């Protein structure tokens, strides 16, 4: 099979080939997501889905599809499915966080698949209103590099072929705090904050192409996030959040996000990051139109635009997210 590579991807592949042998390449972090709120458990295994402390839905399941930098041939495509369940036993101050996640991340010649199980706990006498959580994700990651039939044009004339596969165990840890304010001028507002290392283990693996090889090193990334939900009326509120991402040897990134929830059914939002990314998003809570009892579902869409030097080459990124959730406690 032949791959037609754009100049940008050719440059990327050339850099990889130059590094074959004694050099190393640093692997990408977790796939990018614009709608962080819907995949918090993957990034921070101790986090509590906002649908729980806003609406008391303790079970959720959903799927996300993201097509990134669409003007590039072989652009990254990410899909994820997930399920989360918060178990609240009676007469105890410890609730159980559980979850399962599957991701597929394809970009150019690479294909990464991963599966995780989450286990954690919330310390709280009333976890629907406030709590402190700790948790971990344990999973497996499978990487494949398909070099079949690739031929790069000038200034290099190199042919590479074959498929190389690697796999390894992955571990993530996190801590999380959330609270609903019950008195004073801020009564009804919610706050939350967390910190996590979703890929805590340093990993190095060797990709081989015949007698040639190069080493890919993945280093841990630290995420910190905080947010606030401001109640404007019974059916309207405004939320703001901040995400901070750090990795040794890389530039730190801060994302600023805001959402307005309207009429208990719709939301619109926007955000900007320190690396020149801006995004807009919108969604609807479908169950609110049909008055479902203890059950709901929602769908959201987001678009990202890079404003940096490569903006004209990268194109727009699109992301769609679907979630259904319900309350098994029936409170």
HEC per residue, 148-180: CCEECCCCCCCEECCEEEEEEEEEEEEEEEEEE
Residues ≥6 apart with Cβ < 8 Å to 154? none
Indicate the DSSP class of residue 315: -
SS3 breakdown of the chain: % helix, strand, coil, rounded to 5?
A: 10, 55, 35
Residue pair 193/46 in contact (Cβ under 8 Å)? The answer is no
* Mean pLDDT, range 236-265, rounded to an integer: 90
Instruction: Look at residue 19 in the predicted model and tell me its pLDDT.
Output: 38
* Mean pLDDT, range 210-216, rounded to an integer: 64
* pLDDT tens figures, 99-136: 999 999 988 778 889 999 999 999 998 898 899 999 99
More confident residue, 284 or 290: 284
List the single range of 75-84, 194-203, 267-276, 282-291 with lowest mean pLDDT.
282-291
120: its two tokens: 């954690």
* pLDDT tens figures, 164-191: 677 889 999 999 999 999 888 888 899 9
Q: Is residue 25 over pLDDT 50?
A: no
Beta bridge pairs of residue 167: 142
pTM for this one? 0.83
Q: Does an H or E element contain 8, and which?
A: helix 7-18
Instruction: Look at residue 163 in the predicted model and tell me its pLDDT.
Output: 56
Q: Is residue 12 over pLDDT 90?
A: no
Q: Is residue 13 over pLDDT 80?
A: no
Q: What is the mean pLDDT of the chain?
A: 81
List the single range of 12-26, 248-262, 264-278 with lowest mean pLDDT.
12-26
* Cα(15)–Cα(289) distance, integer angstroms: 53
* Cα(326)–Cα(55) distance, integer angstroms: 9
Residue pair 188/233 in contact (Cβ under 8 Å)? The answer is no
Instruction: Look at residue 10 in the predicted model and tell me its pLDDT.
Output: 45
pLDDT band at 158 (very low <50, low <70, confident <90, very high): very low
* Mean pLDDT, range 224-246, rounded to an integer: 92
More confident residue, 282 or 202: 282
Residue pair 214/24 in contact (Cβ under 8 Å)? The answer is yes
* Mean pLDDT, range 147-155, rounded to an integer: 49
Residues ≥6 apart with Cβ < 8 Å to 312? none
Residue pair 4/10 in contact (Cβ under 8 Å)? The answer is no
Pairing of strands 203-209, 212-218: antiparallel
Backbone angles phi, psi at 55, to 5 degrees: -120, -5
Handedness of CA 122, 124, 126, 128 (dihedral sign): negative
Report the percentage of the chain scoring pLDDT > 70: 78
Instruction: Look at residue 331 in the predicted model and tell me its pLDDT.
Output: 53
Domain residue spans of the chain: 7-326
107: its two tokens: 């970009």
* pLDDT tens figures, 69-106: 777 777 789 999 999 999 998 888 999 999 999 999 98
List the single range of 70-74, 209-213, 233-237, 309-313 with lowest mean pLDDT.
209-213
Domain topology for 7-326:
Porin (2.40.160)
């Amino acid at each position: 099979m032949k791959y037609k590579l754009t100049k940008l991807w050719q440059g990327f592949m050339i850099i990889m080939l130059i590094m074959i042998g004694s050099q190393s390449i640093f692997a990408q972090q977790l796939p990018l997501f614009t709608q962080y709120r819907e995949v918090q458990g993957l990034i921070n295994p101790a986090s509590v889905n906002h649908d729980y402390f806003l609406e008391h839905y303790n079970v959720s399941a959903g799927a996300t599809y993201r097509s990134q930098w669409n003007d590039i041939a072989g652009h990254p495509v990410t899909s994820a499915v997930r399920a989360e369940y918060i178990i609240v036993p009676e007469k105890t101050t410890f609730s159980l966080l559980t979850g399962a996640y599957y991701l597929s991340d394809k970009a150019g010649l690479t294909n990464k698949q991963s599966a995780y199980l989450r286990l954690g706990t919330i310390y709280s006498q009333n976890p629907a209103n406030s709590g402190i959580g700790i948790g971990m994700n344990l999973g497996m990651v499978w990487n494949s590099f398909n070099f079949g039939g690739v031929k790069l044009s000038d200034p290099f004339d190199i042919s590479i072929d074959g498929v190389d596969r690697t796999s390894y165990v992955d571990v993530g840890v996190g801590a999380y705090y959330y609270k609903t304010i019950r008195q004073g001028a801020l009564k009804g507002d919610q706050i939350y904050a967390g910190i996590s290392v979703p890929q805590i283990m340093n990993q190095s693996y060797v990709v081989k192409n015949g007698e040639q090889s190069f080493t890919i090193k993945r280093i841990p990334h630290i995420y910190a996030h905080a947010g606030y939900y401001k109640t404007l009326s019974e059916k309207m509120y405004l939320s703001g959040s901040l995400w901070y991402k750090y990795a040794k040897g890389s530039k730190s990134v801060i994302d600023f996000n805001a959402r307005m929830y309207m009429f208990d059914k719709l939301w619109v939002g926007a955000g900007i990051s320190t690396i020149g990314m801006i995004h807009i998003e919108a969604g609807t809570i479908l169950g609110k139109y049909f008055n479902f009892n203890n059950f709901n579902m929602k769908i959201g869409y987001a678009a990202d635009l890079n404003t940096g030097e490569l903006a004209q080459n990268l194109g727009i990124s699109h992301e769609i997210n679907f979630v259904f959730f319900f309350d098994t406690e029936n409170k």
